[in-house]
Amino acid sequence: MGNVKPFYIFSFGFTGGIFLNSFHKMGFSFFLLSLATSLAIFFYGKFLCSDALNKKTIFLASFFIFAFALGLIRYEIKDLPNRDAVLQKNREQKVIVEGIISDEPDRRENGVRLTVSFRNIIDEEKTFPVKAKGIMTADFYPEYRYGDLLRIEGKLKKPQNFQDENGKTFDYVSYLGKDDISYEISFPKIELISSGNGNFIKAKLYDFKNKFIGNFSQSIPEPHSSLLSGLLLGAKQSLGKDLLEDFRKAGVIHIVVLSGYNITIVAEAIMSAFSFLPKFGSISFGALGIVLFAIMTGGSATVIRASAMALLVVLARATRRQYDITRALIIVGIFMLIQNPKILVFDSSFQLSFLATLALIYVSPIVEKRLQFITPRFKLREFATATISTQIFVLPLLLYKMGELSLVGLPVNILILAFIPLTMLFGFLAGAVSFISVAISLPFAFASYALLSYELKIVEVFSSLPFASISIPYFPLWLMVEVYVAYGVVIYRMTSSRHNNISKPVT
């Protein structure tokens, strides 16, 4: 443990610096103060303290503050404001800009949201180079694709925060800021200049994914095909505001988009297919499946994070080594924060994936011992264990973020999640076989449609209950933190107790 402790000290210090700066801008001067404090404490322990035990504690304290300072400065660097003077001058003005669509178009109920990397702004027939990202809402037609170079004419605005239906303020500015998006233009006049300006590999992956979705969409109607697109490939298809609200009330909004859970299903299916091999072989193929699946779905930041978490879940279940997997999970999380520190507070996908992975590693063994009355056949006990563990562990975050508590979430998750693997399997076969013949794919499409219909019906029935969910308008940050601290203490004590009981000699 002596060699591991500094690693945890650094991790918590670095994360703490990012966390504090996410809520209160501390500034560069506070970074210098923290750095100077860590150095002062270090030199005190090095030259003025003679007690060995105190010296070790002092060194760890200085290391924590040093890591804290690194977290502060990493966030400061990421949060440097857009200093493009030309764009700033034209804010709230009608502009003409040129830019490339830098992400997959996001189809929503009222239009298509396009993420555009601005390249030029045209002012009085003069072209000035600019460098910034913005989002714009466009009509469904004509359709635009990743890599299209567009000429856009509309009002350039800064994004604004807004209140959701529960009265909670959504920090929309920071949510977009985590992806370096600083501007928005609503329903501008658009002219296509050229296509194929994006990354070649990424463009081909998006094309393949869209063809795959088009394949099963020929035989599976809406909204079933949109739900399958989200389950299987993380496609940005709109289910409609009312249906999304039903999923939220039923506590299964997480299955609408591709998540670590979905990717874990893919990996475990591959591992089962290669179960005749030694354990190392099946795990290797499962890990390879996760990598290939992430690439096929477009390799977005969200998918990569979910894939990394899913890979750790697979390794944890295969090796039963919680301690090593925990270190790996924290290492993955730290590298993600180094790459983009804003995901810690402003990316719900990262938070939910991280917490759900912790739940599956630490909470599920505790819960499983209390669910022995559920039969292991058809993996019912496994699904119930995973559902209860993750629901308990992510609940405080959901209450803080959404202010809504689903009272039917647990039974709905148990009723639905057991059928998700089969839904994904038949949906995948329907899309794959359609490359050969749509007629041959119809049995797989029908099976997937039947399962999707069942899942949608469960959501419809439970979300319509008058007590399906309740609004909790006030669930503050400090309360969420206290609940997770309490969770940590309980899990630590129960895990330590279990390890102690295992290590006791039999007399």
The structural domains of the chain, with segments of one domain joined by +, span: 5-78, 85-197, 210-475
For residue 106, give both structure tokens.
């996001």
Mean pLDDT, the chain, whole residue set: 82
First to last CA, the chain: 29
For 45-66, the pLDDT digits (tens) are: 887 776 766 778 888 899 999 9
Residues whose CB is less than 8 angstroms from the CB of residue 210 and which lie 6 or more positions away in sequence, other chains included: none
The four Cα atoms 15, 257, 451, 406 give a dihedral, to 10 degrees, of 60
CA distance 61 to 42: 8
pLDDT value, residue 452: 94
Count of C-beta atoms within a 10 Å radius of residue 447: 17
pLDDT value, residue 497: 64
Residue 22: pLDDT over 60:
yes
Q: What confidence category does residue 262 fall into, taking pLDDT thresholds of 50, 70 and 90? A: low
Residue 292: pLDDT over 90:
no
Residues whose CB is less than 8 angstroms from the CB of residue 412 and which lie 6 or more positions away in sequence, other chains included: 250, 251, 252, 406, 458, 459, 462
Question: Where does 85-197 sit in CATH, by number?
Answer: 2.40.50.140
Q: What confidence category does residue 506 fall into, taking pLDDT thresholds of 50, 70 and 90? A: very low
Residues whose CB is less than 8 angstroms from the CB of residue 405 and which lie 6 or more positions away in sequence, other chains included: 395, 398, 399, 469, 470, 471, 472
pLDDT value, residue 192: 92
Residue 149: pLDDT over 90:
yes
* Residue at token pair 């973020």: 401
Cα-based angle 138, 136, 100 (whole degrees, multiple of 5): 100
Q: What confidence category does residue 443 fall into, taking pLDDT thresholds of 50, 70 and 90? A: very high
Residue 253: pLDDT over 80:
no
pLDDT value, residue 18: 94
CA distance 269 to 275: 10
Residue 372: pLDDT over 60:
yes
Q: What confidence category does residue 128 fall into, taking pLDDT thresholds of 50, 70 and 90? A: confident
CA distance 105 to 210: 11
Residue 234: pLDDT over 60:
yes
pLDDT value, residue 505: 47
The H helix count followed by the E strand count for the chain is 20, 11
CA distance 399 to 443: 41
Residue 201: pLDDT over 70:
yes
CA distance 219 to 431: 10
Q: What confidence category does residue 296 fall into, taking pLDDT thresholds of 50, 70 and 90? A: low
CA distance 472 to 152: 42
pLDDT value, residue 257: 64
Residue 72: pLDDT over 90:
yes
Q: 37-51, 283-297, 425-439: which range is least confident on average?
A: 283-297
pLDDT value, residue 52: 66
Residue 86: pLDDT over 90:
no
pLDDT value, residue 36: 93
The one-letter code for the residue type at 168 is K
For residue 272, give both structure tokens.
């089962």
pTM of the model: 0.79
